[in-house]
Amino acid sequence: MHHSHIARVLLWMTGALLSFTTMALSVRSLSKVLSIFEILTLRSCFGVVFLLCVVLVRPSLRPQLATRRVGLNVVRNATHFISQYAWATSLTLLPLATVFSLEFTMPFWATLLAVVILNERLTSGRIVAVVLGLIGVLVILRPGIATFHPASLLILGAAFGYAVFNILTKKISETDSVFSIVFWMNAMQAPIGLAGSDWAAFLKLGYAELPAAFGFCIAGMSAHFCLTNAYRWGDAMLVLPIDFLRVPLIAVIGWWFFGETIDIFVFLGAAIMLAGILWNLRTEAKKAQPIVEDP
């Protein structure tokens, strides 16, 4: 992998981390007015309208709406909707750091699926990154009786669903454009959300909820745009360990905005995660072949 590819992965994953954090904050705020179905519907409908408007302004993008993987898109987007419903519900029941920590059992599943489905190589650096990432999560979470809240099962199920979703994203990105992938995700999920929503509920949105609604819609788009681009430039087993940084980030956000408890273990766990990420990036950089320019 070229050094420039690694740099692009880091750039896109930074955008994804900020987007997912914004989504979590928005869900917390909007859940006081809307159901989870309605929150997800808001994002999907906004995505469809926004992307169609982009196509109207730039007709040259129209061919990029096509997909060669209809079946995979159906499975990917249905899996994602179910997983996000479970994830969003758990955000209203558990501390933010706990949700994000339990969510990161996902790289275990994703690593296995990447080997089996994508034929990616399980290098020592990637193993170290995943293992240290999970150790960091355990340091932050410090599993105990409080962890076994029934809502924990929701996020554990969502973690497996996200693993499937991430691997299918990588698979589809081999043939379809980022524009196509994001458009069909919203177009397929919008009818599902509308079917489970009370349409009159959207009239309850007041000026106080508009920033959260706008933030969720934009972040819902940018998160998948950034994540899909990261998969275009790097293997799933390079991208996923970087995503571990969401745990300490959301712990700080939860403390700042909602007064959730934060302690030294969050920063200790973050340091362990970062060590794994840096080790993996170092091994990937060593393997990177320099780009030779034509004389």
Mean pLDDT across 75-87: 92
292: in domain: no
Residues 24-80 pLDDT 10s: 889 888 988 999 899 999 999 999 999 999 999 999 889 988 888 899 999 999 999
Residue 293 within any structural domain of the chain = no
Name the band, by pLDDT with cuts 50, 70 and 90, for residue 85: very high
Mean pLDDT of 141-145: 61
Q: What percentage of the chain reaches a pLDDT higher than 70?
A: 86
- Residues spanned by the domain of 262: 3-287
Residue 220 lies in a domain: yes
270 is a domain residue = yes
Cα separation, 36 vs 54, in Å, equals 27
Calculate the average pLDDT of the chain: 81
- Give the pair of three-digit tokens for residue 186: 């919203």
pLDDT digits (tens, 9 = 90+) for 239-251: 766 776 777 777 7
pLDDT given for residue 189 in this prediction = 94
Classify residue 51: in a domain, yes or no.
yes
Exposure string over 13-33, b if 16+ CB within 10 A, otherwise e: bebbbbbbbbbbbbbbbbbeb
Q: Lowest-pLDDT range, 100-104, 181-185, 284-288?
A: 284-288
Considering its fold, how many domains does the chain have in total?
Answer: 1
Residue 205 is assigned to a structural domain of this protein: yes
